[in-house]
A and B are shown apart, each in its own frame.
Chain A
Amino acid sequence: MELERTSVKILQCAKTYSDGTRGLLPSSLDVHPGEVLALLGPSGCGKTTLLRLIAGLEMVDRGGVIQFGQQDVTYLPVERRQIGMVFQHYALFPQMTVQANIGYGLRIRGASPQELKRVVGELLDLVQLNGLEHKRPAELSGGQRQRVALARAVAVRPKVLLLDEPLTALDAKLKVTLRDEMAELLRRLGITTIHVTHDQQEALAIADRLAVMRSGRIIQVGEGEALYRHPKHMFVAEFLGRINRLKRTPQDIANHTVTIAQATVRCPQGLWPELFVRPEDIELKPYDPHLPVATLLQRSFLGDRIHYRIDVAGQGILTAEAHRDSPYLAGDRVSFTIATEHFMPCENDQ
């Protein structure tokens, strides 16, 4: 099953609810044909609002435009937008069997019984639910329900697939399995997908590109890896992973350096008053007076890695992460290095 690849263009779309709350400030976004784009952000950031605007479940404020390919769908009702949507709690029709749920959209479009049978069979194969076609949703596990919901959404060959926190209702382990399965399936279908989530791991695993949102605004759009390594905004850096914050003196700024404990370290050029560093980019070394020194406060063994809290004079407490064989213990005097390219200069309006 190969699906049509449609681009989605969102131009200056905003949403004000009837009680005056602004769900989304004017935002623009381009989703490439066949791409999986994640809308990522904390709850209340407007990601679900944007998804519902694209779906047609909410109407865009005047002035906004939504296009699927060349078609302007801004005022097209949801029933005619040709989208597929997976809801947070799946919203499977409880009185219908798995088979009837998957075939619902096709039946509405007047598909012949043969076609219905063929497509539903194909989808059951695709999501590995053979043998369960006569069960009702209540008899299925969470993961199975999620797959039925996905199959139901793609059965009608939608132009755009919309996923509203599709894995939230699952437990942690199952989430990871289904996440990888879904990423693989979406690639195979080649369908343009917009995926709403608050879980950065999920977004990184499934999406080609991420749009990070906060308070009704899209802050930064880009590939997951690029956003993780080079966030433009502190919020993006912090949302995608953990960060340490390093303060700079005016003299530091003039010299393109940052002072860490007793040492002065070179960093990228720029007038940034603060720099950010990810814990895994702080590389602990045995004590060396030529390098920044710190006192190791706490060591937490996390299985695949070790998490350290270190006290750095002038910069406060930083966190560092190392391989599980890292030998340092709480109370040790240690040194550390940070590679120049690992300093992340970014905007901070907080």
Chain B
Amino acid sequence: MLAKRGLRQFPFTLATLTALVTLLMLTPLALSITAGLVNNYSQGLASGLTTRWLEQVWEGYGDTLLWSLTIASLCALITVVAGVPCAYALARTRSRWARLFEELLTLPVAVPGLATGLALILVYGQFRSFRQSFLFILVGHVVFTLPFVVRTVSSAFANRELIALEEAARTLGAGFTRRLVGVLIPAVMPAIIASALMVFTLSVGEFNLTWMLHTPLTRTLPVGLADSYASMRIEVGSAYTLIFFIVVLPLLWALQAIAHQVQKRYGT
């Protein structure tokens, strides 16, 4: 009822515009997805539907998907473990150096991933086993995503209410570790969850940096995607995109839902 009334009040031109924009954005998506399911893209649906491209992608690139998710999870974990104490320190230090450090920390976000990648290769390229492992890509992702955690969590720590909470814990006799674990971290949990989710998402889709850092044996999903687009039939590339959607979207939704639950639990 309410929705219907709302719709009627909605100006017609606005509705049309919204529909057009939506169509504009969804069409390439739909085309790309159907391209991965037809026998021959140039003949379109007339050539019949098939899952053989999906199977081919799964065989050729299935491991990239697994590695992407592994790296993204580890990256989220590492950035939270390293970033939260760092964020606390930054939020509680009033010195000029701390502000400068905070600025420096955001550089990897501003600097093109290619440049960061090159810098990493120049420094660590000589350590062959490290260079050839997925660990190398993981390090790159951590460098790139850490600022998101530090920035988000640090501003949560700087909240005036939180300063009072910490003081309250101190007056009750809580030492540093106790109040960090028992009071402060739970209080900034929504920020931690949000930033971890952000890191996971960024890591899964990261291409620039990863493209510089990968080797033929260490490929993540976006790199594999680029590879398939460049070297395979268009149907294979499209099937790859489809697999990406099938796996990553539900996962992201699930994570969002979990984050929402946690935020509800810890929110004031």
Residues of A whose CB lies within 8 Å of any CB of B are: 55, 57, 78-85, 87-89, 91-95, 104-105, 108-109, 137-138, 152-153, 156, 162
Contacts and interface: CB of A to CB of B under 8 A. Distances in A.
Contacts of A92: 168
Given A94-B187, A95-B187, A108-B178, A87 B168 contact: yes
B170 A91 contact: no
B163 to A, nearest CB: 9
B173 A55 contact: no
A81 B171 CA distance: 8
Interface-centre pick from B170, B171, B183, B187 (highest chain A CB count, 10 A): B171
A93 B188 CA distance: 12
B170 A156 contact: no
Contacts of A153: 171-172
Nearest to A57: B167
B165 interface: yes
A55 B265 contact: no
Nearest to B174: A108
Nearest to B162: A91
16 contacts: A57-B171, A79-B170, A79-B175, A81-B171, A82-B173, A85-B167, A85-B171, A87-B164, A87-B167, A91-B164, A93-B183, A94-B268, A104-B172, A104-B182, A152-B168, A156-B173
B148 to A, nearest CB: 24
The 7 closest A-B pairs by CB, nearest first: A105-B172, A91-B168, A91-B164, A94-B268, A85-B171, A95-B186, A78-B170
Nearest to B160: A89
Contact of B265 (A85, A91, A95): A95
Nearest to B166: A91
A57 B186 CA distance: 22
A305 B178 CA distance: 55
A262 B211 CA distance: 99
B178 A89 contact: no
Contacts of A108: 172-174, 178
A105 B173 contact: yes
Contacts of B170: 57, 78-79
A155 B171 CA distance: 12
B169 interface: yes
Contacts of A138: 267-268
B266 interface: yes
Given A89-B161, A104-B169, 15 more contacts: A78-B171, A79-B174, A84-B171, A84-B172, A87-B167, A87-B168, A91-B164, A91-B165, A93-B187, A95-B186, A95-B266, A105-B172, A105-B173, A138-B268, A156-B172
A104 B171 CA distance: 11
Nearest to A162: B171
A98 to B, nearest CB: 14
Contact of B171 (A55, A94, A109, A137): A55
